[in-house]
Amino acid sequence: MKDPDKPDKRKWLYDEVNPNLAQLHRIKKEIYSGRTEFQSVQIVDTGSFGICLVLDGKIQSSESDEFIYHEALVHPAMLSHECPETALVVGGGEGATLREVFSHTTIKKAVMVDIDRQVIDICRRYLPSFHKGSFDDPRLDIRFADARLFLQDSRDKFDVIIIDLVEPLEQGPACLLYTREFYELVKDRLNAGGIISVQSGAAGWTNFQNFTAIIKTLKAVFTIVCPYHAYVPSFVDMWGFATTSQRINPKALSAEDVDRRISVRLLNRLRSYDGLTHQSLFTLPKHLRHQLAITRRIITDKKPVFVY
């Protein structure tokens, strides 16, 4: 039994999942800790989920389960496209999203836009098992810029756009990258017949308000919006995503279609996603379908959404 008079010498990572729920992770080793111009950065080796990237106190990726998140984010959209040759990745500083994009043999060029050069430098150095050399792929064109300014200034268009941003903290770098105005810019950079994948926040039993607002906002811009979710253990919650397009509906793909495209196109062996998983991702529970149906909020520049 622990002696209450002896302090616990172990170090703990306090990760606030939402205002009413937090989790503690024992820190076996602190690999990096610092602050960039935009956010605090930690890389820690935990007893629970292995090495974790932590931005502004929130776990972004963990060694043990990041494959669930990144495979769910990338492949439903990529495999729904007939032949994606160009991709834009917005955010995704640890490089794992790029890793999954480059696993597609059809990709000829990928542009990555991230505002925080230091985060990418840190991840490139300390998280090689996450990015697996994707930052060195000759098909990559990396831009250190504000995503909105990049989209406003660029005339390039893409077959697939993947938005892998941090959550919209009020003082963080992404609060205006979840609005209708931002999604209008993204839409303009999409090729005809293209598709977008959007990281859409927590979608759990009691923590779905931002997710439903994001989906409602996307529906104000795009013809086809397909919300889906996956359980990510290190996030302690179901996590929301969406594909958006003017023409492509990933829900139309059968399990056999998905498995066939995986076998033809992908270089990497997937650990979570396949045809059966594809079907389950888009099968939302009744309570969440109800919340999506009754949500009226559209996120705008004047009324952005925040995570507290």
At 170 the pLDDT is 57
Closest CA to 222 of 253, 277, 182: 182
How far is the C-alpha of 26 from the C-alpha of 12, rounded, in Å? 5
How far is the C-alpha of 234 from the C-alpha of 215, rounded, in Å? 23
pLDDT of 170-190, one tens digit each?
555 567 899 999 999 999 999
> What single DSSP character describes residue 266?
B
Answer yes or no: are the C-beta atoms of 302 and 163 closer than 8 Å.
no
For the chain, the maximum distance between any two Cα atoms, rounded to a whole number of angstroms, is 67
At 175 the pLDDT is 77
56: left (phi over 0), alpha (psi -120 to 50) or beta: left
At 205 the pLDDT is 84
- Annotated catalytic sites, by residue? 164
For residue 110 the two structure tokens come to: 């990928």
How far is the C-alpha of 143 from the C-alpha of 130, rounded, in Å? 20
Closest CA to 90 of 136, 139, 150, 130: 150
pTM of the entire structure? 0.94
Integer CA distances (angstroms), 93 to 105, 118, 122, 177, 291, in order: 22, 9, 9, 16, 31
Looking at this protein, which amino acid is placed at residue 102?
F
* Cβ neighbours around 307 below 10 Å, total: 22
> What single DSSP character describes residue 104?
B
Tokens 């929130």, located at residue:
58
Positions in the chain short of pLDDT 50? 1, 7
In the chain, the N- to C-terminal Cα span, in Å, equals 36
Domains of the chain: 11-62 (2.30.140.10), 66-294 (3.40.50.150)
Answer yes or no: are the C-beta atoms of 123 and 94 closer than 8 Å.
yes
Closest CA to 86 of 21, 152, 154: 154
At 169 the pLDDT is 61
Residue 188 phi/psi, 5-degree rounding, is: -70, -20
If 0-12 CB within 10 Å is exposed, 13-18 middle and 19+ buried, where does residue 155 land? exposed
| Half-sphere exposure in the Cβ direction for 27 (13 Å, CA) | 20
